Structure 1
Amino acid sequence: MPALQTVTSYFPRPLFIAASLSAVLFFYSTGFNDNWLLTWLAPLPVCLYALQVHAGKAALAAFPAYVLGAMNQFGYLPPLLFAGTTVLNAVIFTASVLLFRTLVQEKHQTFAPFAFAAFWTSYEFVRSLFSSFGTFESLAYTQVFNLPVIQLASLTGIWGITFLLMLIPASLAVLWHCRNQSSYYVTGLLTGGLLLAVLLFGISRLYLPGDGPVLKVGLAAIPATREELRSENIESITNTLRNYSHSTDALAAAGAQVVLLPEKIAFLTPAAREAGLSVLIQTADKNKVTLIAGLSLQEDHLYNAALVFAPDGSLLHSYHKQHLLPAYENRYTPGKDLALLDTGIDNRAGIAICKDLDFVQPSREYSRQEAGILFVPALDFHDDGWLHARIAVMRGVEGNYAIARAAQWGLLTVSDSRGRLLGVTVTGTAAGEASLLSEVPLGGGQSLYSQTGDWLAWLCLLITTLTIFQLCQKRTNKKLRYEEQ
Structure 2
Amino acid sequence: MASLAHLGTLLLGGALQILGFGRWMVAPAAWLAPVFLLHYAREAPLGGLVVLWLVLALAAGASNRGVIPLKGLGYGGVVAGIAAAMTVPFLMDRLFAAQPGGVWSTLVFPVTWTAVGFLTARFNPFGTWGMLAYTQHGIGPLMQLASVTGIWGIDFLITWFAAVANWAWDLHFDWSLIQNGVAFYGAVLGLVLVGGGLRLALAPHRATVRVAGLAWPEGVPESGEYERVLAAVFRQAIDDQVRESMARLQEVFFERTLREARAGAQIILWSEASVLVLKEEEEALIERARSLARANNVYLLMGLAVLSPGANRPLENKAVFVSSAGEVMASYNKTMAVPGLERQLMTPGTGRIPVVETPYGRVASPICFDLDFPHLVRQVGVAGADLLLVPAADWAAITHLHQAMAEFRAVENGTAMVRVTRSGGSGAVDPYGRRCAFLDSYTTEDAVLVANVPARAGSRTMYTRVGDLFAWLCVFGVAVLVVRAVAGILG
Same fold (TM over 0.5): yes
State the match for 1:357 in structure 2. 371
CA apart distance, 1:415:
1.0
Residues 122, 457 of structure 1: 8 Å contact kept: yes
Residues 217, 437 of structure 1: 8 Å contact kept: yes
* Letter aligned with residue 82 of structure 1: Y
* Letter aligned with residue 408 of structure 1: R
- Note the residue ranges of structure 2 that are not aligned, 5 or more in a row: 231-237
* Letter aligned with residue 148 of structure 1: P
CA apart distance, 1:398:
0.6
Counterpart-to-counterpart distance in 1, 2:247 and 2:326: 17
Root-mean-square deviation (CA, aligned residues, Å) is: 2.3
State the match for 2:233 in structure 1. none
Answering whether residue 131 of structure 2 is matched by residue 131 of structure 1, we say no
State the match for 1:334 in structure 2. 348
Segment drifting more, 146-155 vs 67-76: 67-76
Counterpart-to-counterpart distance in 1, 2:420 and 2:30: 28
How many aligned residue pairs are there? Answer: 465
State the match for 2:408 in structure 1. 394
- Note the residue ranges of structure 1 that are not aligned, 5 or more in a row: 1-7, 478-485
* Letter aligned with residue 295 of structure 1: L
Counterpart-to-counterpart distance in 2, 1:19 and 1:77: 28
Correspondence 1:394-473 to 2 at 5 A = 394-428=408-442, 431-442=444-455, 443-473=457-487
Correspondence 1:206-285 to 2 at 5 A = 206-210=200-204, 213-222=207-216, 223-224=220-221, 225-228=223-226, 230=229, 233-285=242-294
Question: Residues 73-117 of structure 1, C-alpha deviation per residue, up to 9 Å, x if partnerless?
Answer: 134332334323322332333332233234344443412321100
> Which of 164, 179, 188 is the equivalent residue of 1:185?
179
Counterpart-to-counterpart distance in 2, 1:427 and 1:444: 28
CA apart distance, 1:465:
1.5
SS across alignment from 2:346: coil
* Letter aligned with residue 428 of structure 2: V
> Which of 148, 159, 167 is the equivalent residue of 1:166?
159
Answering whether residue 376 of structure 2 is matched by residue 382 of structure 1, we say no
State the match for 2:55 in structure 1. 65
Answering whether residue 185 of structure 2 is matched by residue 196 of structure 1, we say no
Counterpart-to-counterpart distance in 1, 2:12 and 2:69: 25
CA apart distance, 1:349:
0.8
CA apart distance, 1:397:
0.6
SS across alignment from 2:47: helix
* Letter aligned with residue 320 of structure 2: L
Counterpart-to-counterpart distance in 2, 1:247 and 1:23: 47
SS across alignment from 1:155: helix
> Which of 37, 41, 44 is the equivalent residue of 2:32?
41
* Letter aligned with residue 114 of structure 2: T
State the match for 1:19 in structure 2. 10
Question: Residues 305-363 of structure 1, C-alpha deviation per residue, up to 9 Å, x if partnerless?
Answer: 01111113332221110001222222221111322222313x20101111110111431
Question: Residues 364-413 of structure 1, C-alpha deviation per residue, up to 9 Å, x if partnerless?
Answer: 00000110110111111222222221121011111110111110111221
Counterpart-to-counterpart distance in 2, 1:277 and 1:476: 67
Counterparts in 2 of 1:105 and 1:19: CA distance versus 1, 3 Å: closer
Counterpart-to-counterpart distance in 2, 1:107 and 1:175: 9
SS across alignment from 1:417: coil
State the match for 2:109 in structure 1. 116
